[in-house]
């Protein structure tokens, strides 16, 4: 920093520039050498500090026998990340302001003074630090394991692992290697003690024989890499900020009439969100949640990493929506050929990207660092602290690759999605692509989590929870007493049973009232075509359906709703049979059970007319009981390809759903037939709990087809009833599908009972009622035979 500062304060250290004509001489060789040396030394110094600082700080606090160790390290990593981000925020705001207004000499001088002060304070406190000495090169040790495993690839591993077979480091707690990644165990197998070991017990050739500790270190590193690699996509999304700068440059950046935020300064909002969220989460959210629950509450490491990935994907969705809206306004204002033009849209709409990106880094970045630090051995703390940084390096390359691929592929059909003219490009499509990749990455992350198993830190948190009240509820007197150690419970009293039954009854009545009316009520809100009113009503209805505090929000928003009043009981009117009596003096029926209106008759006719088609949906309900793509992507895409609106008819969608339901049963029949055949070949007919050598992922075809059946037939049936029945019957229209699903349960039970009773006369049952041995039962009866009959 001092050398770089000298280029600003010493005139001879930089080329001469005429400040009036902005003409500069070419730099001399010594001047270039001074500049390159300063930048090179800064890079080396920053690399040494950043790669070691976090691990060195964690070493001061890491006491693995302390029960509070996990909590302490989590707070340290969070505050360290917040401090570094706050420093970067100061650098891009205050230091840049000084450089612009007071010159480069003062702008470089302040960092020099700060670096000098930090170096002096570090060395003054050096005697107080815990300093761990490295005995060997860790990277060399990992390379030796790989080479030794390859050299010993032909030897056979011993069937009974003992400490006399493997090379153990003196004083090590590990006596035998783990069974995971067993091929690496060959690198620590002693073939001939006289040749492989020296007189003091060390390996004569460390590139042919390694210790068990070296093998386990490499295994631990390999195990964490898949989970950490999921964070690459998050960093790819976060590093789309360069496009956001271009986007912000075409939007109104005024906060007040006299103050405008520079387009390049919007990245500070991501830093602000990180700096604000980390202390808020550590000092407010967690203590408050712990106080409410009455016990320590902390999110697990993999939970925080997953939340970060979801926030990253959500930031791309938000960016796609903002860019779609901005481009639409550009077209409406006729600014397509004017890329520098500013549209009438506030640049503050970009803030969701930066806020969600900051949350993604705060959750995933810190969670990943803590995950690696807790899962890897103590000797690998520096590597653990830098895996996340290595991931961000990889993410830059991946982001460049994705950008290049999208540009090369999309520009073949005309204008590139990421054209230099943002108004002609389709950056919204590009952001949607990244959002889709983020969702695939999240699925990959979930698979890695399942394969990895529990984390060390999560196990400690789970142990604390099990100690402090797995059996706790709000009012102990409201439940029978249970001995949590012997699992012996007293019989419930009459009052306790009454309270339980009342609660379940009220829940049933409340759910029945909400579910039977919510869909029809929401549809009533969309009858008005006013766009703003429709949007507000839809949002409020959505909140009422999804929010846990729906009752409060419902009454708060009650004044915005369209509320249709029922003049008479619809079901009562539909029970009319034979009109015979006369009218009263005012024209009304003297006996409504004998004389009805034409509207009542037509309502009943409409209901009777839709029932046969709706009853066809009972079979998909049976199938699904054995276990916004269309509207937002498929239909618009088909319409764009055809050049005219494309939409499947209601009966077409219901028919497709029935075919999908049939296909799900056919796939189940094929799958179960294959599984039973494998069980017989492996001799597992008498072992119902045995696992056959067949992947359970083959079951996915049933669930996918059943879901498509419900999406096509169920939604199509609801829309069909709602459009065919009169307005006054909207509640009944919304529940005809639910009534069919209700009938589907007894029909399914009837079919299963009949199949079981008929087929078991000849021996083993075909159906799933034979719960004792699935390998002997002809389960393909619900598949081979019954699904063919259903088809």
**Residue range 729-746, pLDDT digits in tens:** 666 666 666 677 767 777
Total structural domains within the chain? 3
Torsion of CA 185, 191, 195, 199, to 10 degrees: 60
> Is 745 domain-assigned?
no
Which 3 state secondary structure label does DSSP give 230? coil
CA–CA distance from 785 to each of 431, 665, 790 (Å)? 48, 10, 9
Task: Note the pLDDT tens digit of each residue in 146-187.
Answer: 999 898 888 887 666 565 678 888 777 777 888 888 888 888
Do 301 and 157 fall within a single domain?
no
pLDDT tier at 319 (50, 70, 90 boundaries)?
very high
Rounded CA-CA distance 15/500 in Å is 85
Single residue among 210, 227, 252 that ends a domain in this structure: 210
Q: Are 338 and 369 in contact (CB under 8 A)?
A: no
> Is 616 domain-assigned?
no
Single residue among 461, 489, 522 that ends a domain in this structure: 461
Which CATH number does the domain housing residue 329 bear?
A: 1.20.1250.20
pLDDT tier at 436 (50, 70, 90 boundaries)?
very high
Do 350 and 245 fall within a single domain?
yes
Do 315 and 379 fall within a single domain?
yes
**Is the torsion defined by CA of 62, 67, 70, 76 positive or negative?**
negative
Identify which has the larger pLDDT, 692 or 272: 272
> Is 579 domain-assigned?
no
> Would you mind telling me the total number of residues written for the chain in this entry?
791
Tokens 């209901």, residue located: 607
Q: Other C-beta atoms within 10 Å of 759: how many?
A: 20
> Is 574 domain-assigned?
no
Single residue among 190, 210, 230 that ends a domain in this structure: 210
Rounded CA-CA distance 322/327 in Å is 9
**Is the torsion defined by CA of 538, 541, 546, 547 positive or negative?**
positive
Do 368 and 256 fall within a single domain?
yes
Do 315 and 357 fall within a single domain?
yes
What 8-state DSSP symbol labels residue 328? H
Do 290 and 176 fall within a single domain?
no
Q: In this structure, what token pair is assigned to residue 765? A: 């049952």
Q: Are 364 and 442 in contact (CB under 8 A)?
A: no
Do 198 and 266 fall within a single domain?
no
Rounded CA-CA distance 277/286 in Å is 12
Do 155 and 47 fall within a single domain?
no
Bridge-partner residues for 488, per DSSP?
Answer: 483
Nearest to 164 by CA among 125, 197, 130, 123: 197
Do 181 and 301 fall within a single domain?
no
**Distance, C-alpha 199 to centroid of its chain:** 55
What 8-state DSSP symbol labels residue 94? I
How many degrees, rounded to 5, is the angle at CA 203 between CA 198 and CA 209? Answer: 145
> Is 760 domain-assigned?
no
- The whole-model pTM stands at 0.54
> Is 522 domain-assigned?
no
**Which residues span the domain enclosing 249?**
219-461
Identify which has the larger pLDDT, 429 or 100: 429
Do 189 and 242 fall within a single domain?
no
Rounded CA-CA distance 468/296 in Å is 9
Q: Are 341 and 332 in contact (CB under 8 A)?
A: no
The per-residue pLDDT for 618 is 46
Do 243 and 385 fall within a single domain?
yes
pLDDT averaged over every residue in the chain: 76
> Is 115 domain-assigned?
yes
Do 364 and 436 fall within a single domain?
yes
pLDDT tier at 433 (50, 70, 90 boundaries)?
very high
Instruction: Report whether pLDDT(537) > 60.
Output: no
> Is 378 domain-assigned?
yes
Q: Are 283 and 374 in contact (CB under 8 A)?
A: no
């Amino acid at each position: 920093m001092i050398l770089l500062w000298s280029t600003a304060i010493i005139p001879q250290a930089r080329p001469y520039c005429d400040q009036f004509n902005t003409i500069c001489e070419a730099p001399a060789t010594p001047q270039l050498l001074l500049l390159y040396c300063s930048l090179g030394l800064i890079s080396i110094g920053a690399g040494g500090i950043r790669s070691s600082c976090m691990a060195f700080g964690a070493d001061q606090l890491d006491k693995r026998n302390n029960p509070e160790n996990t909590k302490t390290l989590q707070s340290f990593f969070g505050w360290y990340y917040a401090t570094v981000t706050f420093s970067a925020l100061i650098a891009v705001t205050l230091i840049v302001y000084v450089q612009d207004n007071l010159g480069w000499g003062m702008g470089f001088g302040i960092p020099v003074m700060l670096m000098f002060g930090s170096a002096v304070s570090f060395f003054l406190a050096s005697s107080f630090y815990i300093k761990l000495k490295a005995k060997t090169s860790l990277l060399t040790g990992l390379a030796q394991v790989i080479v030794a495993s390859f050299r010993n690839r032909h030897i056979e591993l011993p069937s009974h692992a003992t400490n006399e077979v493997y090379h153990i480091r003196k004083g090590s707690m590990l006596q035998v290697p783990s069974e995971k990644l067993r091929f690496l165990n060959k690198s620590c197998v002693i073939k001939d003690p006289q040749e492989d070991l020296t007189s003091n017990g060390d390996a004569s050739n460390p590139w042919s024989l390694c210790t068990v500790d070296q093998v386990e270190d490499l295994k631990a590193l390999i195990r964490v890499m898949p989970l950490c690699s999921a964070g690459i996509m998050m960093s790819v999304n976060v590093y789309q900020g360069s496009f956001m700068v271009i986007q912000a440059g075409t939007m109104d950046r005024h906060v007040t009439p006299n103050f405008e935020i520079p387009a390049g300064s919007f990245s500070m909002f991501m830093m602000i969100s990180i700096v604000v969220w980390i202390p808020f989460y550590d000092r407010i959210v967690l203590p408050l949640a712990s106080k409410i629950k009455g016990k320590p509450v902390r999110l697990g490491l993999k939970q925080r990493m997953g939340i970060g990935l979801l926030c990253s994907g959500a930031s791309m969705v938000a960016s796609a929506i903002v860019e779609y809206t901005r481009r639409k306004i550009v077209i409406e204002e006729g600014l397509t050929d004017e890329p520098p033009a500013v549209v009438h849209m506030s640049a503050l709409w970009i803030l969701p990207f930066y806020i969600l990106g900051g949350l993604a880094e705060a959750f995933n970045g810190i969670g990943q660092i803590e995950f690696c630090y807790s899962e890897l051995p103590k000797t690998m703390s520096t590597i653990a602290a830098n895996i996340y940084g290595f991931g961000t390096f990889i993410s830059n390359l991946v982001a460049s690759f994705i950008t290049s691929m999208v540009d090369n592929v999309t520009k073949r059909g005309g204008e590139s999605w990421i054209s230099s003219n943002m108004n002609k490009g389709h950056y919204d499509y590009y952001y949607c692509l990244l959002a889709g990749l983020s969702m695939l990455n999240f699925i990959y992350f979930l698979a890695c989590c399942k394969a990895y198993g529990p984390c060390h830190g999560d196990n400690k948190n789970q142990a604390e929870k099990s100690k402090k009240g797995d059996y706790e509820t709000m009012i102990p007197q409201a439940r029978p007493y249970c001995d949590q150690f012997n699992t012996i419970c007293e019989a419930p009293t009459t009052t306790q049973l009454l309270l339980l039954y009342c609660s379940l009854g009220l829940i049933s009545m409340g759910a029945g009232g909400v579910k039977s009316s919510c869909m029809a009520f929401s549809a009533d809100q969309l009858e008005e075509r006013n766009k703003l009113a429709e949007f507000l009503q839809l949002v409020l209805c959505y909140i009422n359906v999804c929010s846990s505090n729906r009752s409060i929000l419902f009454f708060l928003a009650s004044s915005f709703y369209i509320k249709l009043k029922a003049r008479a009981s619809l079901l009562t009117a539909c029970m009319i049979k034979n009109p015979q009596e006369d009218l009263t003096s005012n024209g009304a029926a003297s006996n409504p059970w004998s004389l009805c209106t034409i509207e009542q008759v037509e309502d009943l006719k409409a209901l009777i007319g839709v029932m046969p088609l709706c009853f066809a949906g009972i079979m998909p309900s049976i199938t699904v009981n054995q276990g916004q793509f269309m509207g937002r992507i498929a239909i618009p895409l088909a319409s764009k390809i055809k050049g005219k609106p494309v939409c499947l008819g209601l009966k077409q969608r219901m028919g497709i759903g029935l075919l999908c339901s049939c296909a799900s049963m056919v796939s189940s029949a094929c799958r179960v037939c294959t599984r039973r055949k494998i069980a017989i070949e492996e001799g597992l007919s008498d072992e119902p709990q045995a696992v056959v050598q067949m992947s359970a992922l083959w079951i996915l075809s049933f669930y996918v087809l059943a879901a498509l059946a419900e999406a096509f037939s169920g939604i199509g049936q609801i829309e069909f009833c709602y459009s065919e029945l009169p307005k006054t019957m909207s509640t009944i229209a919304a529940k005809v599908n639910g009534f069919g699903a209700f009938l589907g349960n007894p029909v399914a039970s009837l079919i299963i009972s009949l199949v079981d009773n008929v087929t078991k006369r000849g021996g083993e049952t075909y159906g799933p009622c034979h719960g004792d041995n699935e390998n002997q039962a002809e389960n393909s009866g619900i598949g081979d035979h019954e699904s063919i009959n259903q088809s």
